[in-house]
Structure 1
Amino acid sequence: MTNDWWRGSVTYQVYPRSFQDSNGDGIGDLTGITERLRYVASLGVDAVWLSPIFVSPMADMGYDVSDYTDIDPLFGTLDDFDIMVAKAHEMGLKVIIDQVLSHSSDQHPFFVESRKGRDNPKSDWYVWADAKPDGTPPNNWSSVFGGSAWEWDGHRKQYYLHNFLTSQPDFNFHNKEVQDWLLETMRFWLERGVDGFRLDTVNFYFHDARLRNNPARRGEPQVNPYEMQLHKYSKTRPENLDFLARMRDLTNEYGASMVGEVGDSTRAVEIMAEYTSGDSHLQQAYSFDMLGPEFTPKHFRSKIETFFKKAPDGWPTWAFSNHDVIRHMSRWHDYGADQDSLAKLACAMLLSFPGSVCIYQGEELGQTETELEFHELTDPPGIRFWPDYKGRDGCRTPMVWDNATNTHGGFTTGVPWLPIKEPQLSRNVAAQEANAHSVLHFYRHMLEFRSERAELHGRDMARFLRAPNPILLFRRGNLLCAFNLGTETRRISLPRGAAEALTGPSQAASISGSLTGRKLELGPNGFGFVELS
């Protein structure tokens, strides 16, 4: 594979705590991941992405790092990591790891030193500011996890910035020493053989040095008041681009790739385009625009068209589920004729979009959100905003390998860190391996089909065609892609030049009459691929 291996790639996201426990402590680990790599490779994906595995007090499940160059003992050791990387490479899988650069844990030695005073070597490594004369925070910036983004430190007698938990202080990227050090932590992992990075909150690195107030966002009050601001000054600052260029230079040395998570609820696609345009910044970026409740042809079309209009040479990564949102099978349940049909439709649609793709563990099983009770939660924002927002634990419950209750679906011989419940247990790997018509086998068929069709994994952009709602219709090169997002049978007219045979994986769609009449019939949640001349 060339240095452009990431173009059109499909990445499988592993949430390490929940993939496979090898030692019976109820928490997944690196050895468990290594044991299951053959399964990942069998899907036909190109890469595996691991959510954070670094040393951490786990206040935010590893997104609060206290040592950037070592493995948390919960997950194993550096030797375990090296073994996992070597095994993945033997199987033809690239390895991508999470990098949480915008902030650290408050237990990181640098923050411990920084908060001691205003004149030590690390005093300016984090974002500190004086209080207003009345003792209130320096501005109105809010935290993603609720409340002010500023926390008072009584020893230093200043506020520090935290866009997330108070135990996640933000690095000061205006200090070049901070940038240099963070780049060296990335080099550490590149030297160990990783092939790329998923960059957490990539647009949060820089803040406005003048600490200007964010403007209000018009609309009704929200469950989380964070969404009541336009975050003009607290993130997505222009200085970000220069640092992304430095990161690109580093990854280019190793032929590695980056995919940045763009966190913004108002103009995420535009930021994705800006951050990937040209060859000087990120190779890829993704946002939450397809991770929400919207399930209409208009929505999907608008996000794809907007991206490529803003950045014709940019490269997006699309996903329907990840570790931060309700699984798409539960979000879009009302649009499904049945669970399997909806899962297969989502798979075919996602793998047909122009760009790269990320699949979240369990998605290939048609897995649904786990309904948890309050006492079962571990996620801080879920606990804070319950019951109007139940947090992210429901999509993070362990992978289910079989239906054995004594090993919690084959995940652990101990007590799993989050419970596995019957609806999830019923959609296990072993049962779907034994069923040729399962969602799991369909994912394999569709991934194989994508790999065989240059139009689907290459640079062929999508050209959207008119179609009655709820049909999504577009061309990728000479391949027509048609999707029925509704629960009633629909018949559509095809363009001139339709071939005599429908191509694609089994169960894709059916032809109504003959293609001579240029008619395609799509059943509930049906879809199809038609060769065009």
Structure 2
Amino acid sequence: MSADANPVMTPDKDWWRGAVIYQIYPRSYQDSNGDGIGDLKGITARLAHIADLGADAIWISPFFTSPMKDFGYDVSNYVDVDPMFGSLTDFDGLIAEAHRLNIKVMIDLVMSHSSDQHAWFVESRSSRVNPKADWYVWSDPKPDGSPPNNWLSIFGGSAWQWDPTRMQYYLHNFLTSQPDMNLHNPEVQDALLAATRFWLERGVDGFRLDTINFYFHDKELRDNPALAPERRNASTAPAVNPYNFQEHIYDKNRPENIAFLKRFRALLDEYPAIAAVGEVGDSQRGLEIVGEYTSGNDKMQMCYAFEFLAPEPLTPEVVRNTQNAFANAAPEGWACWAFSNHDVVRHVSRWGANVLDRDAYAKMTSALLLTQRGSVCIYQGEELGLTEADIAFEDLQDPYGIQFWPEFKGRDGCRTPMVWDDHAVQAGFSTAQKTWLPIPVEHVLRAVNTQAGKEESVLEHYRRFLAFRRQHPAFAKGDIVFHDAGDNQLIYTRAFGNEKLLCVFNMNAEETAITLPSGEWIGLEGHGFNSAVNDNKVELPAWGAYFARHA
């Protein structure tokens, strides 16, 4: 056999473009040791479900060592696994099994802040002259003892916490136990990049960067200006939070971040095929910042803002405006869209609370998401049509919900354990008598085993539609053009190479007839939606969809 007979496959550096990424909240996916909390071995045991679904990659929320004040988003050691979730050996096993199943692995990196129990912060707060004294954002009080400026925390109250040892305030954009790191200090950047390299060497395929626009603060600590009431948008923080009363131009969204993101990307590019997606949390400038962070080929491969995670209803106008605004803000960039995640009310409840046929609505919205221009994140349980759980106050775990109860119930309702088997203890998630969050009865009724193999189920729809999507590269990588349509109707085409696809949606609870754009269209099969075409009109049932190829 010649040396060239079996060449080594070159990794696809572009695998992320149009990828479907399945988000796993590790506490709630699968418990392997009976303590009521999910773990890495549990994830490994359930990877076949994700492979069967047809996702390209997984994104795992933080599993690093942490006191769990914010459930892993408060890291106390960036290069180890919290014993709650297992060990580094368990993570290596997860990577190996995922790659065997041809699933990429992305992990959550929280670099804007750490836990106050991280050794870096313990040293930093010990004095004003230690080697890490400037690794976090410290400031003297005003002459009257009050905080340095008016910056607010997303979790409520001032973003400054008094420390009696240093007799200074430190900055925390989230919990007081989550001090912000000072990325103006090159040593801090180096340490964070070293932690990133640690996981790259263990074989990860990419990262999701938490709160990517929070990395830098204004060195002069200038006050944020007030935000006019008509411009307040509750998608970054709940409406009851005064955080929405400010325009956040000094505590985040700083121009210095661009240079660091270039350093981060240069590290990724040392490896064959690594990708990163950044979370941009800003209600006023989200898409503009996404454009800045994804422009060129030297920063983030992709980012997402909160347009599709907001409470405002999903309408044809919202879809068109969001895609067009992104195209204007980031003509060279690439988005990653999601309708649900671990921080927001599940979209079937958020948008479909008054919908009678929730399954039909779940199928329509999934097809809409999976045919948008950009990559896609699916949140665990979304493929089952899970609704937001109603968690009693005494069962709440989320400090955000406890702080603002009852006007805002926090994030626990979307974080309840995954349901696998309606006949098993704790729906197959755990053998424990009590799980870290209760499992709603209505979720048990939608367990994986109750839907698998049933053609009309939401689960089988996701499997079928993901397979349909893979057959047509235009869905993953093509351009998008919107066409005129009536109320509650959405029409767009996706084009890539020689393929041009038509997508038609009835975003309405009543059946309707929709006029197709001019041209010869050949209906596609395999997506699971039923329709009839007569005289260049497609008749769609409530929450129906139609897909065709240009002849």
Q: Normalised by the size of structure 2, how large is the TM-score?
A: 0.94
1:511 paired with 2:532, answer yes
Q: Kindly provide the amino acid, as one letter, of the partner of residue 462 in structure 1.
A: I
1:410 paired with 2:428, answer yes
1:62 paired with 2:72, answer yes
Select the residue among 107, 110, 133 that pairs with 1:97.
Answer: 107
Contact kept? 1:203, 1:237, Cα under 8 Å: yes
1:94 offset after TM fit, Å? 0.3
Contact kept? 2:464, 2:528, Cα under 8 Å: no
1:506 offset after TM fit, Å? 4.2
Instruction: Report SS of the residue matched to 2:189.
Output: helix
Contact kept? 1:498, 1:530, Cα under 8 Å: no
Give 1:396-475 correspondences, 5 Å limit. 396-404=415-423, 407-414=425-432, 415-458=434-477, 460-475=478-493
CA distance in 2, matches of 1:301, 1:505: 26
Q: For residue 156 of structure 1, what is the aligned residue in structure 2?
A: 166
Q: For residue 298 of structure 1, what is the aligned residue in structure 2?
A: 317
Query: How many residues are paired up?
Result: 527
1:334 offset after TM fit, Å? 4.1
Give 1:207-356 correspondences, 5 Å limit. 207-219=217-229, 222-254=239-271, 255-293=273-311, 294-334=313-353, 336-356=355-375
Instruction: Report SS of the residue matched to 2:207.
Output: strand
CA distance in 2, matches of 1:332, 1:116: 48
CA distance in 1, matches of 2:541, 2:82: 49
Contact kept? 1:217, 1:229, Cα under 8 Å: yes
Gaps of 5+ in 1: none
Q: Kindly provide the amino acid, as one letter, of the partner of residue 360 in structure 1.
A: Y
Q: Kindly provide the amino acid, as one letter, of the partner of residue 453 in structure 1.
A: H
1:309 offset after TM fit, Å? 1.6
Q: For residue 236 of structure 2, what is the aligned residue in structure 1?
A: none
Give 1:112-151 correspondences, 5 Å limit. 112-151=122-161
CA distance in 1, matches of 2:528, 2:454: 14
Contact kept? 2:162, 2:168, Cα under 8 Å: yes
Select the residue among 496, 521, 524 that pairs with 2:518.
Answer: 496
1:483 paired with 2:505, answer yes
Q: Kindly provide the amino acid, as one letter, of the partner of residue 364 in structure 2.
A: L
Contact kept? 1:504, 1:528, Cα under 8 Å: no
Q: Kindly provide the amino acid, as one letter, of the partner of residue 401 in structure 1.
A: W
CA distance in 2, matches of 1:195, 1:337: 41
Instruction: Report SS of the residue matched to 1:408.
Output: helix
1:337 offset after TM fit, Å? 4.7
1:205 paired with 2:189, answer no
1:359 offset after TM fit, Å? 0.2
Contact kept? 1:114, 1:120, Cα under 8 Å: yes
CA distance in 2, matches of 1:456, 1:377: 40
CA distance in 2, matches of 1:337, 1:393: 24
Contact kept? 1:9, 1:357, Cα under 8 Å: yes
1:496 offset after TM fit, Å? 2.2
CA distance in 2, matches of 1:306, 1:33: 37
1:265 offset after TM fit, Å? 1.1
CA distance in 2, matches of 1:20, 1:288: 28
Q: Kindly provide the amino acid, as one letter, of the partner of residue 13 in structure 1.
A: Q
1:381 paired with 2:403, answer no
CA distance in 1, matches of 2:547, 2:68: 45
Q: For residue 366 of structure 1, what is the aligned residue in structure 2?
A: 385
1:23 offset after TM fit, Å? 0.5
CA distance in 1, matches of 2:526, 2:163: 59
Deviates more, 1:6-15 or 1:309-318: 309-318
Q: RMSD of the alignment, in Å? A: 1.1
Instruction: Report SS of the residue matched to 1:333.
Output: coil
Could you give the per-residue CA deviations for residues 153-199 of structure 1, whole angstroms, max 9, x where no partner exists?
01100000000000000000110000011000000000000000000
Contact kept? 2:453, 2:460, Cα under 8 Å: no
Deviates more, 1:115-124 or 1:218-227: 218-227
Q: For residue 94 of structure 2, what is the aligned residue in structure 1?
A: 84
1:392 paired with 2:414, answer no
Deviates more, 1:235-244 or 1:303-312: 303-312
CA distance in 1, matches of 2:104, 2:393: 38
1:335 offset after TM fit, Å? 6.0
Structure 1 residues 270 and 210: alpha-carbon distance in aligned structure 2, compared to 1, 3 A threshold: same
Instruction: Report SS of the residue matched to 2:290.
Output: helix
Contact kept? 1:337, 1:524, Cα under 8 Å: no
1:505 offset after TM fit, Å? 3.0
Could you give the per-residue CA deviations for residues 61-84 of structure 1, whole angstroms, max 9, x where no partner exists?
000000000000000000000000
CA distance in 2, matches of 1:357, 1:113: 40
CA distance in 2, matches of 1:417, 1:244: 36
CA distance in 1, matches of 2:170, 2:390: 36
Q: For residue 20 of structure 1, what is the aligned residue in structure 2?
A: 30
Could you give the per-residue CA deviations for residues 241-284 of structure 1, whole angstroms, max 9, x where no partner exists?
10000111111111211000000111211111111111011001
Could you give the per-residue CA deviations for residues 436-493 of structure 1, whole angstroms, max 9, x where no partner exists?
21110110111111111011011x2110001011111101021110111111112111
Question: What percentage of aligned pairs have identical amino acids?
Answer: 56
Gaps of 5+ in 2: 1-10, 233-238
Q: For residue 56 of structure 2, what is the aligned residue in structure 1?
A: 46
Contact kept? 1:335, 1:486, Cα under 8 Å: no
Structure 1 runs (4+) greater than 2 angstroms displaced:
334-337, 504-507
Q: For residue 74 of structure 1, what is the aligned residue in structure 2?
A: 84
Structure 1 residues 204 and 36: alpha-carbon distance in aligned structure 2, compared to 1, 3 A threshold: same
Instruction: Report SS of the residue matched to 1:480.
Output: strand
Q: For residue 5 of structure 2, what is the aligned residue in structure 1?
A: none
Contact kept? 1:345, 1:483, Cα under 8 Å: yes
